[in-house]
A and B are shown apart, each in its own frame.
Chain A
Amino acid sequence: MSETIKTDCLIIGAGPVGLFAVFELGILGLDSHVVDNLDKIGGQCAELYPDKPIYDIPALPECTGLSLIENLQKQIKPFNTPFHLNERIDEIINTGDLWKLKTTGNKVFETPNIFIAGGVGSFEPRKPPIENVSKYENKGIQYSIPDKNFYKDKKIIIFGGGDSALDWTVELSKIASHVTLVHRRDEFKAANHTVNLMKQLVKEGQVDLITKNQISDVKGSDRVEKAIIKDNEGNEKIIDCDEILIFYGLKMELGPINDWSLNLNEKQIEVNTENFETNLSGVFAMGDISYYPGKLKLILSGFHEAALAAQKAFIRARPDETLTFRYTTSSSDIQKKLGVK
């Protein structure tokens, strides 16, 4: 096991609220680490609506999901905060005044404060709710590709019509023995260029394209051997394969957070509105994942919640120091932290 990383606050979630929490902690002089299951920073804003306009960020009449995240990253740059992407926090363990956390990448953190800014949960691949599909997961069925060479000379079926499905169809057609792409309609929601490349490959006979069909079941012995697909009228067809790749986008799952003995209200964590602490001392929840009477799932609410939680986090991380309220406008100490000259 790797060495334990000590920090004043471990932030779960690199969405807008986790990012602003870095700022609020930073100007109080607390350092933090951020862990996110996604391969990029920005939570829902970056994953679900990077190009859509947002109109209700105070003093920003209009910005896009992506530009909001870029600006937040600029705002926290002075703090050089480490981000641990592609890692999920699965477990939190109480050790007296401190918390120990483990990531799926086997990193261990020790901290007096955990900020859960986990949105609606971590983004996970959508898996068809079919019994055999779960049975053959990792036995021929995959939702991502860690190493494309694994698919050399294999007979592959790819399900989906978005960027991942199309990119991999084009890429794997170069090394696989055969690729079949199955999608529920004739239109694709992917870059035009890739769609055209795929259509060219279909013309050349390198890729089989089957539209207006969806996955219905899979069959096999030790590993998956056949996919059963059905059209809109319910007519089924069987296709032989060595490997199946499913790209139906991402879904948010509360997942491990369910098992942390937190008081939940449906899919949200109950907090008090004084400092957004949960029923566990030192564990705070903010942003979409927090619940209290009147809660609004808005970015601006999350920013406020992060600011208040940071105050209490300071008291836990620096029990011997006193916290004084200061404005960024006039505090030379804060300005020094921000690198203002």
Chain B
Amino acid sequence: MYLIPLSNAFLNILKKISMAKIKYIEFSGTEHEIDVSSGLTVMEGAIKNKIPGIDADCGGACACATCHVYVAKEWIEKLPPKEDSEEDMLDFAFDVKDNSRLSCQITVSDELDGLVVNMPEKQF
């Protein structure tokens, strides 16, 4: 009687904090603002929502570099730093810049609410 409304309220809170809005900007300039669940990667958010510009050939194993994105300048510092394997794999991406990341290596959390990523002209 009393538990049900409580758990519903609880679920709603959970829902609220376990999503982050992520803006994916295609090379052409087309923007997609998507709610991505925490725990998914930025790459998975794009693939699940069929956003063009991220290929992710290896499915997130950090083995293909076809999920390359440029992170908006103000977000670079806020993301967890790159592991060595990501930096190594970036050798195989095209037109790598200081704000380049592999989107399969960025896990979404509520701290990332508002993240903006730009897709490169081409994934190699």
Contacts and interface: CB of A to CB of B under 8 A. Distances in A.
B44 to A, nearest CB: 14
A246 to B, nearest CB: 11
A127 B123 CA distance: 11
A159 to B, nearest CB: 10
Q: Interface extent on B, as a size class?
A: 20 to 34
Interface in A146-191: 160-162, 183-185, 187, 189
A265 B63 CA distance: 22
A249 interface: yes
Interface stretch (B2-10, B30-38, B90-98, B111-119): B90-98
Given A129-B124, A161-B91, A189-B91, A251 B97 contact: no
Given A49-B63, A128-B124, A184-B96, A251 B57 contact: yes
A232 B63 contact: no
Interface in A109-144: 120, 126-129
Nearest to A49: B63
A248 B96 contact: no
B123 to A, nearest CB: 9
What DSSP secondary structure best describes chain A's contact surface?
loop
Interface in B41-98: 57-59, 61, 63-64, 66, 87-88, 90-92, 94-98
Contact of B66 (A187, A189, A232, A251): A251
B94 A128 contact: yes
Interface in A182-210: 183-185, 187, 189
Contacts of A120: 57-58
B94 A189 contact: no
B124 A48 contact: no
Contact of B121 (A44, A48, A129, A187): A129
Contact of A232 (B91, B92, B97): B97
- 10 tightest A-B CB contacts, nearest first: A129-B122, A249-B92, A48-B63, A189-B88, A126-B124, A161-B91, A120-B57, A248-B92, A184-B96, A252-B57
Interface of A: 44, 48-49, 120, 126-129, 160-162, 183-185, 187, 189, 214, 232, 248-249, 251-252, 297
Interface of B: 57-59, 61, 63-64, 66, 87-88, 90-92, 94-98, 121-122, 124
Given A129-B121, A232-B97, A297-B59, 14 more contacts: A48-B61, A48-B63, A49-B61, A129-B122, A161-B91, A183-B91, A184-B90, A184-B96, A185-B87, A187-B87, A214-B95, A249-B91, A251-B64, A251-B124
